[in-house]
Amino acid sequence: MIDLEILRAGPESGDILLLIHGINPVSPKAPFVADLARTRRIIAPSHPGFGASPLPPDFDTMYDLVNVYLDVLDSLPGTRIAVAGFGFGGWIAAELAVAGHPKLHRLILIDAVGIKIGGREDRDIVHMFNTNPVELDRRAWHDPAKRPAGIYGLGWQAAIGDDMTDDEMIALARNWDSLCLFAWRPHMFNPRLKDWLHRIHVPTLVLWGESDRIVTPDYGRHYASLIPDAVFETIPQAGHHPELEQPAAFIASVERFLS
């Protein structure tokens, strides 16, 4: 297994919840992490090329990332692991569940990308690298003015100011580069994934920010309809990052599903 930076939190004896991050690694400062870690063992790796995880020279496909996370599941103790994927990480989580792993016990997809639903001239997913960051910021948050300080979601470029350190900028740049490497084209989806979502055999929750205009709740509803018996829920007053914008409602949905 390759080296990965891993954020660990919560009691070692707790049920494992593997968090698969989106455009940036899960921040240890995010309140939702501490809330989940009260009873659960949180494992949140940084993907290769993100955070402090090295990027092997030839890695550049979703295939690489899915196999990395199959390795991660192999390495974790226990037999009943829940996996939650956010945005781009939701795509990884969906691919992982299609590939299947005996330890994978529950699946949560949060504002996930990864599939193509609309027609060839319909853009399901806003192009993250070809959209003005101000517009990304506007579309990614229910209320951009209230986005948490020091924790960066889509449109992070709009938050650049004198209060951001050089190290934060360097980390954001590296994450952005790596995201692009894996997801430039086709942009944020696998054209074949949609037809294989029926292979997901674990209970699945598809959770969506009601105000997400990066990938809309309708997209999420359609995504859920392709996964056998998946439950679809929305979180009010939240955009693409409901775990950051409405952590209490997010935790409530997750705990209800996992308990």
Partner 1 sequence: MTSIELWNHCENPYPFVPAEVLDAAESVRASLPNKYCDPDIAARLYDEIFEEYQLCDDLGLHIVTNEHHSGINNLWAASPVITGIVARITKKVRILSLGTLITVRPDPVRVATEYATIDVISRGRLDIGFVKSGATEMVSGDANPMRIREREWEAIDLIEKSLTSHDGPFSWEGKFFTHPHVNIWPRPYQQPRPEFWAATSDMPTCAELGRRGIVNTLLFGGYDRTRQAFEAYKQARHAAGLPAPKEDRFSYMAFCYVGDTDEEAFRIGQKIPWFLTVSIKSAPQMSKFQPGQFPPEMAPAAWRAGSSKRPTNLTVEALIAQGQMFAGNPDTVVKQIKAFRERVGGVGRIIMMTRQGLVTHAEAMKSFNLTANEVLPQLRDLPPVEERAAAE
Residues found near partner 1 in the complex (CB under 8 A): 58, 60, 129-133, 157, 160, 162, 166, 169-174, 176-177, 179-181, 184-185
CB of 131 to partner 1, least distance (A): 6
Identity of the residue, 132 or 225, whose beta carbon is nearer to partner 1 in the bound complex: 132
Pairing of strands 41-45, 16-20: parallel
CB of 181 to partner 1, least distance (A): 4
CB of 237 to partner 1, least distance (A): 27
Identity of the residue, 83 or 172, whose beta carbon is nearer to partner 1 in the bound complex: 172
Identity of the residue, 76 or 164, whose beta carbon is nearer to partner 1 in the bound complex: 164
CB of 38 to partner 1, least distance (A): 35
Euclidean distance between CA atoms 177 and 50, whole angstroms: 9
CB of 5 to partner 1, least distance (A): 15
**Which stretch of DSSP H or E encloses residue 234?**
strand 231-235
Identity of the residue, 27 or 253, whose beta carbon is nearer to partner 1 in the bound complex: 27
Helix, strand, coil in percent for the chain, rounding step 5:
35, 15, 45
**Which stretch of DSSP H or E encloses residue 67?**
helix 62-75
Identity of the residue, 122 or 162, whose beta carbon is nearer to partner 1 in the bound complex: 162
In sequence order, which residues have a C-beta less than 8 Å from that of residue 20 and are 6 or more positions away? 45, 47, 69, 83, 84, 85, 86, 89, 90, 92, 93, 96
In sequence order, which residues have a C-beta less than 8 Å from that of residue 125 and are 6 or more positions away? 113, 187, 188, 189, 214, 215, 219
- Quick check: bond before 186 cis, omega within 30? yes
CB of 123 to partner 1, least distance (A): 13
CB of 122 to partner 1, least distance (A): 17
Q: Which two tokens stand for residue 190?
A: 């696998």
In sequence order, which residues have a C-beta less than 8 Å from that of residue 253 and are 6 or more positions away? 205, 207, 233, 235
Euclidean distance between CA atoms 17 and 84, whole angstroms: 7
Identity of the residue, 13 or 149, whose beta carbon is nearer to partner 1 in the bound complex: 149
Identity of the residue, 108 or 171, whose beta carbon is nearer to partner 1 in the bound complex: 171
